[in-house]
Amino acid sequence: MFKIILCNDPVFSIRNHPGKIEWRGNASKDTLETLIAIIKSGKNAAIAYAEHLFNNEVEALNLFEVILKSEADITFYCKELNLPPVLIRYAVVESESATIENFNKEVESLPFCEETRKNIKENLKGFPFSRISQILKNISGFDDKKAVETILESKRNLLRQNEILEVVHIDDGIDQIGGLNELKKWIVERKGNFSKEARDFGIPTPKGMLMLGVQGCGKSLTCKVTANIWSFPLVRLDFINLFRKGRSVEELLKEAITTIEGFAPVVLWIDEIEKALSQDTEGSEIRRVLGWLMTWMQEKTEPVFLVATANKVSVLPPELLRKGRFDEIFFVDLPSKTEREEIFKIHLEKRSRLPQDFDIPKLAADTENFSGAEIEQIVVDALITAYSKKLQLTQKIVEEVVRRSVPLSVTYEENIKELRIWSRNRARNASGNRRIESLFGK
Ligand SMILES: Nc1ncnc2c1ncn2[C@@H]1O[C@H](COP(=O)(O)OP(=O)(O)OP(=O)(O)O)[C@@H](O)[C@H]1O
Ligand SMILES: [Mg+2]
C-alpha cells in the first residue's frame, strides 16, 4: 500500500518505524536509491520529508513503478502536500493529528512542582516534536529552576538558527528613559494585558505599537525597556536582510513568524521599518510583505507584541498608519527642557557622577534641540576631556563641550518639521505634554 501522511514533524512521526528513512539535507539522489532498494527487497518503508525527494516528475514516475510492483507498505511523511501529482493521485492521503498535548503525560511524570510543569508545557511550544522527548529526558535530573532555565536556553538557541531573527540582550529598565512619560505610562499599564485574566475581563490581546520620531530620542531604548517591563524576551526581525537572502521573502517571513509564535510571549521588534521601504527597487514587494505582516498582526492569537520604529513618515504606506492597525502610534520628539534635565541626570548617574554636583537646569537650557543620544554623547565627551587633562568632571567642562557641539536636528530640520506636522493629529505624543511651542517657528 502507498500512503502519504501529512504531519507537523515528519522525523518525529517515523521515529518508531523499523524501515525509517530521514531526509537529510540535499542528498536527494542517495535517499531515493536507498528507498528504491528497500522497496525492491519487499520491506516496508517510511520516509520523512518526502516532499523534498524529487527533482522532477520522471524520478517520481520511476519510483511509482517500483512501488506498484512491490508488496511492501510505503509511507511518505510530509509537512505539505507538495508532491508530484502522479503520487498524490494514487496514494491514500491521511493527516496525523499530533499536537503538543501528546507530551502532557510525559511532562506530568516529571519530578517538578505544579507551576514548573505548567511553565515547561508552555515553553515546549515551538520545538520540533522530534526534539521534545530528548529535552524532557535532559531536564529530568535538574531542580525546578535549572529545568526551566535549560528549556529557555534551548529555545533561544532555536531562535539563533533563524537567519533573520536575533535575540536582543536587555539591561535597561524604565528608570533609564528620561521623559517620554506618556509612552512609559502606556507600557506599564499594559503589563498584565496578555494574561487569561485580562482576556476574561474583556481586554483584547495587545497587537503592537509604532514609534515614529526624531533620531536618537529613545525609540530603540524604549523597545528594550518594554520587553524588560513585561518580562518578555526581545527578538529583532532583520527586515532589511529579509530582502537580501535570495530566498522567497514570504517563505522566510512565514518561517520566522512560526518560530516567533513558538517563542511567545515575546516582543517582536522591527527597527527602522522605512529603511527597507526606501530601498524598494522591485516595486511593490516590500509593501506586499508589510501587508501580510499587518494581516498577521490583526489575526494572531499568540501573545506576540510587534514594536516597529521609523524616522520618516513620507515613505510609509498609508495602510500601515491607518487607525486600528497598531494599538497606538507614538510620536517621539526632541526632549523638552524638563526631559533634558532627566536625561542629563540618567547619563551622569550611569557613569557614577552625582547630579547634584552639576547645574542641571543650566545644562538643559543650553542644549535646546539636542536629542537624548546627543546629550549622552556630551557627557561621554566631557568625561574624555576631563580624563585626558587628569581632572575631575566639572560643570565647566560639560558646558565647554555643549558650547562646541551642534545638534543634528539642524541638519534634519525639514524632516523633523514634516514629522511634527504629520503627527499633530495622527499620533500620540510620547511625552504627553502637547507642546505648542515649536522649534522651527511652525
Ligand atoms: N529619552 C532618553 N533618555 C535617556 N537616554 C536616552 C534617551 N533618548 C536617547 N537616549 C540615549 O541615546 C541612546 C540612543 O538612543 P536610541 O537608540 O534609543 O534612539 P532612537 O530613537 O532609536 O534613534 P534612531 O532613530 O537613530 O534609531 C540610548 O541608548 C540612550 O543611551
Ligand atoms: Mg533606533
**H/E segment holding residue 268:** strand 266-270
Q: DSSP code of 79? A: S
- Residue 335 CA: nearest ligand 1 atom is 1
Residue 299 CB neighbours (<10 A): 8
Residue 215 CA, ligand 1 centroid: distance in Å:
8
373 lines ligand 1 (CB under 6 A): yes
pLDDT reported for residue 246? 67
Instruction: Please give the grid coordinates belonging to residue 175.
Output: 528608570
- Does residue 326 or residue 21 have the better pLDDT? 326
- Does residue 166 or residue 283 have the better pLDDT? 166
pLDDT reported for residue 280? 57
330 lines ligand 1 (CB under 6 A): no
177 lines ligand 1 (CB under 6 A): yes
Report how far apart, in Å, the C-alpha atoms of 299 and of each of 49, 207, 242, 295 are: 29, 9, 22, 6
Residue 275 CA, ligand 2 centroid: distance in Å:
12
Structural domains of the chain in order of their starting residue, each with its CATH number: 2-95 (3.40.50), 101-159 (no CATH), 168-332 (3.40.50.300), 337-368+372-406 (1.10.8)
Length of the chain in residues, anyone?
442
| Cα 79 to Cα 114: distance, rounded to the nearest angstrom | 34
Instruction: Please give the grid coordinates belonging to residue 427.
Output: 499620533
- Residue 373 CA: nearest ligand 1 atom is 12
SS3 387: helix
Report how far apart, in Å, the C-alpha atoms of 149 and of each of 90, 125, 215, 406 are: 48, 15, 37, 47
Strands 328-332 and 208-213, sheet pairing = parallel
Residue 219 CA, ligand 1 centroid: distance in Å:
6
pTM of whole model > 0.95? Answer: no
Residue 317 CA, ligand 2 centroid: distance in Å:
20
| Cα 244 to Cα 248: distance, rounded to the nearest angstrom | 10
Which residues, in sequence order, are bridge partners of residue 6? Answer: 78, 95
Residue 92 CB neighbours (<10 A): 10
List pLDDT tens digits, range 166-213. 888 888 899 999 999 999 999 999 988 988 889 899 999 999 999 999
pLDDT reported for residue 35? 86
| Cα 244 to Cα 341: distance, rounded to the nearest angstrom | 42
408 lines ligand 1 (CB under 6 A): no
Cβ(277)–Cβ(321) below 8 Å: no
Residue 215 CA, ligand 2 centroid: distance in Å:
7
List pLDDT tens digits, range 52-81. 888 888 888 998 999 989 888 999 999 888
- Does residue 101 or residue 50 have the better pLDDT? 50
C-alpha R_g of the chain: 28
Instruction: Please give the grid coordinates belonging to residue 336.
Output: 523638552
